[in-house]
Structure 1
């Protein structure tokens, strides 16, 4: 189950750090989150990717 409080926190972090719309930022989340955050918010990242119908962009 996705924690909606974490979704709100993740959305805020991505918008603030990226300066992008959350839809674009979540696709590039590895640019804006550290490894701890990527692990902590994995379910929420996947939830947002599915909700927005976008795929994670490759890291290369």
Structure 2
């Protein structure tokens, strides 16, 4: 998820872009079905990762 967030920061696509990139990542797709609460939490996880990646880019 963090690598997707880094890419979203580079592309300036925002938190929604980070979420979309994460959902398209094969590693995320692999574990999504077996991760409890994935659908409820992916937005939170991608938003946090985006904020961390954004801070790291300064």
State TM-score, norm by structure 1: 0.35
Question: Higher Cα Rg: structure 1 or 2?
Answer: 2
Give 1 or 2: higher helix fraction: 2
State TM-score, norm by structure 2: 0.36
Bigger RCO of structures 1 and 2 (CA < 8 A, at least 6 apart): 2
